[in-house]
Structure formats: structure tokens, C-alpha cells
A and B are shown apart, each in its own frame.
Chain A
Amino acid sequence: MTTSTQVPWREQFVRGWGMAVGGPARVFTPTTAEQIADAFAEVQSKKGHIALRGSGCSYGDAALLRDGHVLDLSRMNKILAFDPTTGVARVEPGVTVRDLWRHSIRFGFWPKVVSGTAAVSMGGAAAMNIHGKNNFAVGSFGECVRAFTLLTPGGQLLRCTREQNADVFFAAISGFGMLGCFTELEIETKRVHSGRLRVWGIPARDLAHNLQILEDLKAEADYLVSWIDMHGKGVALGRGLMHRAEQFGPGEDPDGLRWCEPSLQDVPPRLFGVVPKGWLWPGMWTAVKLGQVPTINWAKYQAGFREAKKSPYLQSHGAFHFLLDYVPRWQWMTKPGGLIQFQPFVPKAHGERVLSTLIERCQQAGMVPYLGVLKRHRPDPFLMTHAVDGYSMAMDFCVSKNAARRQALWRLCQQLADIVLEAGGRFYYAKDAVLQASSFARIHGEPTVRTFAALKQRLDPERLLQTDLSVRMGV
């Protein structure tokens, strides 16, 4: 294949969202599928490699390639069609969760699966097969993808559905951008009869209590997520605050109709209507540097009891889901080292034992995550999925600039990963920065890895698509 035009690459430093990993790369921002094909062809002729990048919300190195090429798809952000009767949207890969719900909520539709930040792109969400606070009930993002068009490194446009090119459909979703670039996706959204949710805050004494609440409520609740105070010790180990949310049925919250409007769903931009939230991160940075995270967590846990008293309360969908958007640039509080997130998925039978061991190990090592988030999951049909019938616990660690401390954190996470893998657990590549190649087969099993390798060989024999993550995992 020959290239007709020169692709305008620009030199840029590309980071993971956690700012702890990254490097210089040649970046190009295409606006059409033809431009993606041109970029593929040009890099292939130079025997180079390309990483695909959506909004860059992966915490680690899933959307970057140091000293390689990066395709930034954020400008392919058009909603091509939206059916106001069925709620099915046809979108380009750079359309964000926010773009989608701002469009769909006017018609009383909300995306079936959303992340904790609305900045995530549709292409990225499908490639990483992201999950939301309702994973136990509706599964992962892939389950609301009806069809997509995939541009393979060979320049072929493949339309994939559950029936047509099904093997590629189930592997490209969850395939972390290794098989091709999504150029168009069809996404299902769901009917909501109110722009608001009923939300309950439920304090949990310890980890066992947290897990018990998840089991008790998973049959009836629409959304469940628990914040965990990772500094809780002894009888308070794994204490936290569970949030449960439920949708309204027809006629249950008539006034919620007024909230079916984009500007009433956005997370409020100011604190108490005065202080722009963009100014809050320096305060949080100071708290982290002064070692006040345990105090803040304790206060948050205590505040949970007050929240429980006024439950259930009403909250817009946006305000409930997009906690990470409450404080813009909050990740800057971990500057200069940045942060990594470590999110193991543990089968139900081993949940309590493994998760409590993980928390204890962190506390013994003196590297306690400043944030922990517990969720309930169920398996899904995608080839490289992270989901298990069990629990996940996302742990956010501050990364030190000091090389020795940084290495110690990586070693700790690798030890934790061993504990998880022994219990038959899995990992989520949008969050990962520490796993080693030896873990890949242990996570997915030999047959799955072989199937994936065969697909990679078929669609991308020159191994054009590569990321720092895929190199690290030996894909």
C-alpha cells in the first residue's frame, strides 16, 4: 500500500491519566477513517508501531507508546445518528460519555454503562470494555454495543455484530486496541423516566459488612458502589460507605422530568456556588503532602452516618455517576509523582480473604492507598474481559518521584497481584501499570491467549498496533 499524503505527526509528551507513566511520541489527530488508514499505511511502511488513544483516561500505559506513534482519536467526536424512540446512537470513536448523555438525556435516555468520569471516549470504553457501578446487574460496556466498524491495520473495514464477524466482535471489545481501530459504533442507551435517582448512603463497619451489603442488595439495587477507608485497621479494616441508587419507574417522580435536560445533569462547577472547583486541587495536594489522608478518610466515614439519616435523597444521574469530575484536575494532588490505580477482580468465594489480605499488606508496607472503591461484578462474554463473578477493589496509590520508593510500590503491587492470581482473580488494563508478561496467561488462561494471538496474527500480522501495556504484557 502506498500513502498519497504525508501524515502531519507532531512531537508530544504523552502521559497516562495518572501522570506516573508516559513518554515522548509522534502524535496525529485524525478526523476521518481515511486519515486513520493513511496513518496506518505510513507507519507500516516504516515498520513502526502505533498506539490508539481516545480521551487518554486510562490510568496507566494502555493508550501510549513511548518513542512510537500515537493516534489521538478525540476529534472524531460526532454523534452520527440518534434514534429518539429506541435510544440507539451511532457514534464516532472519540465521542465521550458526556457527549452521549448530553444528547440522549433530552429524550429520556441514559447510557447503560458509564464510567466514574464522563470524559471517557466510546472507542476507549469499548476497547477496554469498561464497567460502571451497575456491572453486577447489566454487565460491561461491551454488552450495550450493538455493532461497530473496525479498521484493521491492513486497511480493511470490518463490520462486526454478535452475528457478523462475531469472533472479532467479542475480541475487539476488551481487546485493548490490539486488533484495529473503531471508526463507528452503535451504542444502546436505556430509558429513564426521571432525570434523577434515589440514593442511599449506607455506612459499612468493616470489609465483611461491605461485602454483605453488596450481596444483600445486588438483586434489587440498580447501582452499588462502596468507598473504602484504606486506613481502617483491626475491627475497622475495610470500613466504608456504600452508595446504592435506584431509578424511578413511570409516574414515580414526575418532577424528575425537568431534570431530563443536559445542563441540569452536569456536576456543579462551583463549591457552595462560589468557589470554582478547579481551584480545589492545591488544597487536596497540601492535605496529601501533610499526611492528612487518614484524618480526611475518618471524617468522610463519620459524615456517612449523617448521610444515612437523610437517605434516600435525590440526585441527578450526572451527579451520582461522575464523582471523578467533581473536582477538575484532582489527580494533580498527587503531583509531582502522579498516581497509579491497582484494581484486582477477585472471585466471590475468595473475596473477603483476598481483599482483607491486600489491605493488610499495604498497611504493613506503609504504602496505603489514599482511596479504595469496592464494586460487585458478573462475568461477560468478551474474550479478554476482566470481569469475574465476584468483587473488585480499586486502590489508588500516590507515586513517589524517588526511584527507590517508586520501585518499592511496583514490587508491592506485583506481590499483591500474585495473591490475586492465586485466587483465580483478574485485572483491568485501563487501570493497570504494574503487571508483568508472566501474568497474562494466568489471568486469561492459555486457550484464550492462543485465540487472541491467532486473531492478532490474522488482523495485524505486522504487529502495527502496540502500546506500552501490550509490550509489557508480551502480547
Chain B
Amino acid sequence: MPTRTGTCIVVGASSGIGLAVARRLALEGRKVAMLARRENELRAQVTLVNDAIGQTRAHAYVHDAADANAAEPLFAKIEQELGQVDELHFVAGVMPDVRPDEYDLAKDALQMQVNAVGCIAWVNAAARRFLPRKSGCIVGVTSVAQDRGRTGKPGYHASKAAMDTFLEAMRNRLWKHGVQVTTIRPGFVDTPMTAGLQLKGAISADKAAALILKARDRKKTIAYVPWKWRLIMFVIRNIPSFVFRRMTI
């Protein structure tokens, strides 16, 4: 069981994996600040969590992860309103549809802004506070997509790789000071973001959340969710480029 008892922040908590993580944190008895862009949906989810549990544990904060400058003041506001934060989950992410012949800067820039810059902003805000306290836990949800650049969604792969590398660097900075930084690389998960993709063998978002919190408790550095993706991605990472660029995966 987690040793932490402070407030948790979940960025990207109105749907998918972020929502499932927030629900499980609330069920653990933690105070949870749920952050998301769509106010209606976020408030509905917060109400559902509190009603189901029968106690006010979840709190809604409307926030667009693309607005990186807002992270620092919002972090301060949450600590002021809900008490000291000792756990951050960055799960926000966007993955727009990209046609094979499409080179759209707006879409790629948005992915970099939300997935990568958003993550950097929140992790910085957390690190600044966790480091002097010599405690705290940062969980960043990247993707198996970060392991290789594939043809389908270049911007998505690049943004997740940026996020993943940033988290690794922060881990190397912070771990020796007692701050945990765990990177989660999910494979196929059934969420609204992947609804159109018909992913075979996808796990539920709740299952993914369970595995994420297990990785947190075991103080993992990098966790593939579920575990089999470590093997799959090991193979894929080791395909030489002259073969990989001819493949359709």
C-alpha cells in the first residue's frame, strides 16, 4: 500500500487512463485534484466519484495542458486549497487523426505542446516542491509509441519520446533526493482516445490504472503496461532501420 497520504494531482482526468487513475486514487482514500480541459465532463466525473464513494475526495480544476504557463500557479493554488501535494500523475495527451500524406504543423505543434511541454511544466512545478521536501512521487504516462518513430503519427511519437526522455532526466536528478519518478509506457488500452482504432487485445483503462499504481508502489523506473509490451517493444526497437522503414507497422 502507498505510504503517501497527501493530495494527488491527476492531469488529464476527465476520461481514459487519467480518469481511471483518479478513481483508484480516490478509492485509496486520497484527496485528488482532477484536472482536465472539458469543464462539463470533468465536473460530471468529479460528482460521480464523490457520489459513488459517498465522501468528497475528488476536486475539479479546469485546466488546458497546452497552457504550460498555468501549471505553476495552479499547482500553488491546489496546495493552498487541498493541502500539500505528494503525488503527480501526468496523463493528459492528444492524438489527432493524421492522414498518411498530411504534414500539418498545427496538429504536430499541438501534440508537442500538450503531451511534451505540458508534462515538462507540471513535472517542473512538482520537482521544485518535492526536492526540498525530499519526498514525493511523479508518474508520467508516455506510450510504447515513444520507442520507435513509425509512419502513422510522427508528431505523436516525437512528443511522447520528448516526454519520456525528460522524465528520465528528471528521474536521474531527483531519485537520489528521495523523489520517485516513474515512467509508464502503455500498450493498447481501450479509451476514448483510441476508440476509432479497433485495437486488438486492448486492456481496460481500469486495468491500466491498476498496473500503473502497482508500478508506483514497487518504485519502478519504467513500466510497460501491460508487461508483455516490454518484450514486443524490445523486438521492435531492435529491428534495423533498413528493415523497419520497409515495414508497415
Contacts and interface: CB of A to CB of B under 8 A. Distances in A.
A107 B202 CA distance: 21
B49 to A, nearest CB: 6
Interface in B51-107: 51-55
Interface stretch (B38-46, B110-118, B127-135, B175-183): B38-46
B39 to A, nearest CB: 10
A219 to B, nearest CB: 25
B190 interface: yes
A280 interface: no
A257 B53 contact: yes
Contacts of B44: 84-85, 107-108
B204 A261 contact: yes
Interface string A226-268: 0000000000000000000000001111111111111110000
A220 B93 CA distance: 45
B205 A255 contact: no
Contacts of A135: none
A332 to B, nearest CB: 25
Nearest first, the 9 closest Cβ-Cβ pairs linking A and B are A251-B54, A84-B44, A263-B204, A108-B48, A257-B52, A254-B53, A263-B190, A250-B51, A258-B206
B54 A254 contact: yes
Contacts, number: 71
B210 to A, nearest CB: 9
Interface stretch (B19-27, B155-163, B216-224, B238-246): B19-27
Interface in A101-117: 106-108
The number of chain A residues touching the other chain, given as a range, is 20 to 34
Contact of B49 (A85, A257, A261): A257
B134 to A, nearest CB: 33
B27 A257 contact: yes
A251 B55 CA distance: 7
B43 A258 contact: no
25 contacts: A84-B43, A85-B44, A108-B44, A108-B48, A108-B51, A193-B51, A250-B51, A250-B52, A250-B54, A251-B52, A251-B54, A251-B55, A253-B52, A254-B27, A254-B52, A254-B53, A255-B27, A257-B48, A257-B52, A257-B53, A258-B20, A260-B23, A261-B205, A261-B206, A264-B204
A193 B192 CA distance: 21
A85 B40 CA distance: 7
A385 interface: no
Contacts of B55: 251
A189 B80 CA distance: 38
A259 B207 CA distance: 11
Nearest to A262: B190
B54 A263 contact: no
A193 B48 CA distance: 7
A254 to B, nearest CB: 4
Among A106, A191, A251, A256, residue most surrounded by chain B Cβ atoms (within 10 Å): A106
Nearest to B42: A84
B143 interface: no
A108 B206 CA distance: 15
Nearest to B27: A254
B27 A258 contact: yes
A85 B43 contact: yes
